[in-house]
Amino acid sequence: IPVDDFDLVIFGGTGDLARRKILPGLYRRFCSGQMPEHARIIGAARGEMDDAGFRDLIRDAIKEFAKKNDCDDEKIGAFLQRLHFVTIDAKGEGGWSDLRDLMRDGVVKAFYFSVAPSLFGDLAKRLHEFQIADDESRIVVEKPFGRDLATAKALNAGLAAHFDETQIYRIDHYLGKETVQNLMAVRFGNILFEPLWNAQYVDHIQITVAETVGVGGRGEYYDKSGAMRDMVQNHLMQLLCLIAMEPPSRFEPDSVRDEKLKVIRALEDIDHHHIVRGQYDATDTEQSYREDAGDPRSRTESYIALRCLISNWRWAGTPFYLRTGKKLKARTSEIAVVFKDAPHSIFGEDAGRHANVLTIRLQPNEGMTLKVTIKEPGPGGMRLIDVPLDMSFADALGEEADDIPDAYERLIMDVIRGNQTLFMRGDEVEAAWAWTDPLINGWEARNDVPKLYDAYSSGPEDAAMMLHREGRRWREVK
Ligand code: NAD
């Protein structure tokens, strides 16, 4: 579906995120015909560069980061004609009038802040002072949105001084994934699941985001944050909200975000027996986390597992187990809803009992699987086995699967459309920090030392023990 004509300014347009994700994503939207004929993208960053230099930079970026079969020199050339560049300093006066002169009236104006968060306030202020943005303009901000409640509040205040909340789009690219939206379609578009979606029928829920990469070259940066701030406070929390929230009355930004906020506010405090923090160890050939971080005494976690409880009528007593970590066995993100056993086995205990599990895979191979119990085929009597009802998007959609927009593409187009449903609202972000702050402060006060885990394993033994104590086990990371 085509969008309205727009001028999109990317502050930090020469940076890593712009080259790896934003511009290759926009190029794909251009190829799919979604970009209006006159729409333009304006890179704005520090450093001398002209339009031609910016176009060369982005040509190389598309060739490096877009999917191979997307790269067609003619199409890339046509896309590059849409690009312009302005040298700008967020902290100075230079370049701002040039940007104002370049912007068109009567089109959607969007400003992507792909720069360090410390510059968000400066950019908002100058866009206002130089009368570049108007009441209809939109701004997009990247993570990290603060490192605790106080810094998040300060960022929100810096933006709110010049923009209304309805103009602010806080990106969490997890929300742009096809499966995440499908989660809502499955929950609220079918009659099958919702009646079972509560403490009475669900035994527990697991949310896993496992990465195989370590912190590598950005170790020093990562060491100031850790898995809780880097992954749980935003991505895992957002997934938890979508899984646990009450049905919104409409699929509209504030209806959805109101329900998500209620989930965060209903989260119980966690005691330290239900938090396991880990750090990956060295292998024969690779460095340990501490070496990567450049601090032999670092106590920052590269892995975390938590048991969360939601204090409301629907979920009372149902554990939500969350885990995420680096240098784990496999790269996988999934949500698994593990249902309770059937209350009585008419086939006798010997036949075996199996719980239904609905798994929503975010990566790799986006899709869903429902594990159901059937009779083992053959003459061997009534023995029960599990079989997966499997829906892989790639298989279901065939060649069309290639056209599924990547998370960034979808979210940027939502900005142009003015649809905030898949973006975090300021109060949501603050509520999430209000919940994580005491946990982080707690382990800092205790001088908690993370447990070491073998690189490329499934994480620290203590995380397995945490579930074992409750008669459960983590799903295999594979
Ligand atoms: P980067 O260091 O590669 O690029 C920074 C960009 O900002 C450059 O274009 C630079 O010219 C510009 N810039 C710096 N100071 C400026 C100033 N005073 N005025 C105007 N422009 C200025 O950073 P990045 O990796 O692209 O990250 C950008 C933002 O996105 C950061 O907030 C980062 O945390 C976030 N982010 C990045 C990634 C990623 O994969 N790189 C992922 C998620 C979030």
pLDDT mean over 169-191? 91
Q: Using one digit for the tens of pLDDT, what is the confidence trace for 390-444?
A: 887 777 766 566 666 788 999 999 999 999 999 999 999 999 999 999 999 999 9
Select from 114, 127, 139 the residue to mutate for testing ligand 1; criterion: most ligand atoms less than 8 Å from CB.
Answer: 114
Q: Is 177 annotated as a binding residue?
A: yes
240 within 8 A of 261, measured Cβ to Cβ: no
Closest protein CA for atom 42 of ligand 1: 17
Cβ-based neighbours of 426, under 8 Å, separated by 6 or more = 156, 159, 160, 165, 168, 170
H/E run at residue 369: strand 367-375
Q: Which of 142-151, 225-234, 385-394, 396-405 has the lowest mean pLDDT?
A: 396-405
Report the alpha-carbon distance of residue 329 to residue 342 in Å, rounded. 33
Q: Which atom belonging to ligand 1 lies closest to the Cα atom of 173?
A: 43
Cα-based angle 456, 459, 462 (whole degrees, multiple of 5): 155
Q: Using one digit for the tens of pLDDT, what is the confidence trace for 151-165?
A: 999 999 999 999 999
CB atoms < 10 A from the CB of 448, how many?
14
114 within 8 A of 22, measured Cβ to Cβ: yes
Q: Is 246 annotated as a binding residue?
A: no
Report the alpha-carbon distance of residue 410 to residue 429 in Å, rounded. 21
Report the alpha-carbon distance of residue 149 to residue 229 in Å, rounded. 11
**What's the confidence (pLDDT) of residue 146?**
95
**What's the confidence (pLDDT) of residue 191?**
94
C-alpha neighbours within 13 Å on the C-beta side of residue 230: 21
Q: 162 catalytic, yes or no? A: no
H/E run at residue 428: helix 426-445
Cα-based angle 179, 181, 185 (whole degrees, multiple of 5): 105
Q: Using one digit for the tens of pLDDT, what is the confidence trace for 282-298?
A: 999 999 999 999 999 99
Q: What share of the chain is helix, strand, coil (3-state, %, to 5)?
A: 40, 20, 40
Cβ neighbourhood burial of 364 (10 Å; 0-12, 13-18, 19+): exposed
Closest protein CA for atom 2 of ligand 1: 15
Q: Using one digit for the tens of pLDDT, what is the confidence trace for 93-141?
A: 999 999 999 999 999 999 999 999 999 999 999 999 999 999 999 999 9
Assign 473 a pLDDT band (cuts: 50, 70, 90). very high
Report the alpha-carbon distance of residue 184 to residue 173 in Å, rounded. 16
Catalytic residue from among 204, 235, 273, 274: 235
CA of 45 to the centre of ligand 1 (A): 9
Q: Using one digit for the tens of pLDDT, what is the confidence trace for 333-366?
A: 999 999 999 888 888 877 777 899 999 999 888 8
Q: Ligand 1 pocket: which residues have CB below 6 Å?
A: 11-18, 45-47, 88-91, 114-117, 119, 142-144
Position 383 pLDDT exceeds 90: no
Q: Which atom belonging to ligand 1 lies closest to the Cα atom of 90?
A: 19
Assign 242 a pLDDT band (cuts: 50, 70, 90). very high
Q: Using one digit for the tens of pLDDT, what is the confidence trace for 66-90?
A: 876 677 889 999 999 999 999 999 9
pLDDT mean over 435-464? 97
Q: What's the token pair of residue 404?
A: 């599924």
**What's the confidence (pLDDT) of residue 2?**
80
**Reported ipTM:** 0.98
Strands 367-375 and 384-392 come out as antiparallel
